[in-house]
Amino acid sequence: MDSKNAKDNEINKKALRVLEYDKIIAMLRSEACSGLTRTIIDALHPGVDRGRIREALADTDEAVTVVLRKGTPPFGNFYDIGGFVHLAAKEGALTPKQLLEVSYNLTSARKTAAFLSADLPELPRIRGLVSAITVLRELEDEIKRCIL
């Protein structure tokens, strides 16, 4: 690291300390409703790309619109099921607990999509997120039927 980068890094660390960035992250983390979300929060860092910052602010603006119009979304606790999906793709067997976590994620995704699809003005960023959610009600119900 050259001296300019070292100095910039030192200034950035000082700025984060002065702004109490660690406390902001701790406050945000305390509001997270899942371990997966807390992991994502822990990896956050201030942006430096102005374009990306503007995009993130637009995302935040739409999210605030949702909360002000409809209240807190019913996200619930999303489980990190990436490993389960990988195992199932290899025709591996999942435990009942793992299957219930998959089912819970499917339920949360369905409820979130329904919440974000109704009674809102045109919010293109939110609509893009909703269109990426795949509702698999039959799978959700079948897992519950077999396990519960």
Residue pLDDT, tens place only, 105-120: 999 999 999 999 988 8
Res 2: pLDDT? 52
Res 74: pLDDT? 84
Token representation of residue 115: 């919440």
For residue 20, what are the CA distances in angstroms to 13, 46, 125? 10, 12, 30
Q: Is the pLDDT of residue 132 over 90?
A: yes
Res 47: pLDDT? 85
**Pairwise pLDDT comparison (10 vs 50), residue with the higher score:** 50
User: Per-domain residue ranges for the chain?
Assistant: 58-147
Res 146: pLDDT? 94
Q: Is the pLDDT of residue 10 over 70?
A: no
